[in-house]
Amino acid sequence: MSGSANDYNPFSMKHVFPLFLFLSLFISSCASNPAQAAASSAHYIENKGSDTIVNLALAWAEKYQSSHSDIRISVTGGGSGTGIASLVNGTVDLANASRRIKDEEVAEAQSNGVEPVEHIIARDAIAVVVNPNNPVNELTLQQISDIYSGKYLNWQEVGGEDRPIVRLSRETNSGTHVYFLETVLRLGSSENKTLFSMDTLLLPSSEGIISEVRDNPNAIGYDGLGYVPEDLKTIAIANEEGGAYVLPSIETVNDKSYAIARDLYMYTDGEPAGIVKEYLDWILSDEAQLIVAELGFVPVLK
């Protein structure tokens, strides 16, 4: 009987042909879309960690991808501790850190079958900054330590005006925080147990410290040199009383006259290979190290 349900055959040619045509057009459309084809064949590099390095890492990734269309590089911050934890857990290709990996982190990684390998990718000066209305221009390392530990409470004690000192620091997950604690507050001594004053304000980002110093004439903060804008005052630092007061710069980091300078790192699981090795090799090239200098960091000397 014509038109009955029993007469409908889903596999008859008049039903199959339109379906076949639709699928053919869909597949042809996908194959002819270069963007989709490129995305499906892209190789990914996961890069995470230090907020000090994140802007540099983003600039590198953008430049590298512009000439390597088959590579996709994901860059996120979160702090050195976050990057190293991701390496330990095996969820990242490159972990950015503004401090060296700790022995206990290496041990934890090895227990997970991860073998951290260190790569120095740039250098950085830590600038101590104050509001431009603050008359203090110079401090010794000991004075900065005494400010941050709470021994000095008023700017008048270090040659400034009669104003309370407001201390700003990065959060404890920051590699910059750890480096500043060990190098400045503890003056590089492993036996020194000096701690930040309890009233130190811990801020989650470099930008947060810059913003607070800009707005608060009583504040003192520290940040990677690449993050310090021209409208803030950078303090000249002497290693000791009677020593030369030196401002941070590429030149004073390289000649080791500036007291608070450090290496910046990327960590991989084992020796890098494939696209990760190619990317790291490029990071150490003249082209990539030029970006280091442009962003206010210090290129790795060959």
- pLDDT tens for 247-283 read 999 999 989 999 999 999 999 999 999 999 999 999 9
Same domain, 158 and 257: yes
Same domain, 102 and 150: no
Q: Sign (positive/negative) of CA torsion 279, 284, 287, 292?
A: positive
Question: Is there a domain that residue 272 lies in?
Answer: yes
d(CA 87, CA 96): 10
Same domain, 128 and 257: yes
Domain range holding 283?
A: 42-123+264-294
What mean pLDDT do residues 66-85 have?
96
What mean pLDDT do residues 145-150 have?
98
Which pLDDT value is given to residue 302? 61
pLDDT of 41 higher than 80: no
CATH number at residue 279: 3.40.190.10
d(CA 170, CA 163): 23
Residues 6+ apart with CB under 8 A from 114: 87, 88, 90, 269
Which pLDDT value is given to residue 5? 43
Number of domains in the chain: 2
pLDDT of 150 higher than 80: yes
pLDDT of 119 higher than 70: yes
Which pLDDT value is given to residue 223? 93
Same domain, 246 and 132: yes
Which pLDDT value is given to residue 301? 74
What whole-number percentage of the chain has pLDDT above 70? 86
Q: For 298, left (φ over 0), alpha (ψ -120 to 50), or beta?
A: beta
224-262: b or e for each residue (b if 16 or more CB lie within 10 Å)? bbbbbeeebbbbbbbbeeeeeebbbbbebbeeebbbbbb
Q: What is the DSSP letter of 191?
A: T
pLDDT, tens digit, for every residue of 85-102? 999 999 999 999 999 999
Same domain, 117 and 134: no
d(CA 234, CA 218): 14
pTM for this entry: 0.78
- Please report the beta strands in the chain, taking only residues with DSSP state E, as ranges in sequence order: 43-49, 71-78, 94-97, 116-130, 138-140, 166-170, 201-203, 219-224, 233-234, 236-238, 261-269
Question: Is there a domain that residue 9 lies in?
Answer: no
User: Nearest-CA neighbor of 240 among 140, 170, 171?
Assistant: 140
Question: Is there a domain that residue 51 lies in?
Answer: yes
Distance, C-alpha 236 to centroid of its chain? 25
Same domain, 110 and 234: no
pLDDT, tens digit, for every residue of 188-224? 999 999 999 999 999 998 899 999 999 999 999 999 9
Question: What DSSP element (H or E) covers 142?
Answer: helix 141-149
User: Nearest-CA neighbor of 165 among 150, 176, 180?
Assistant: 150
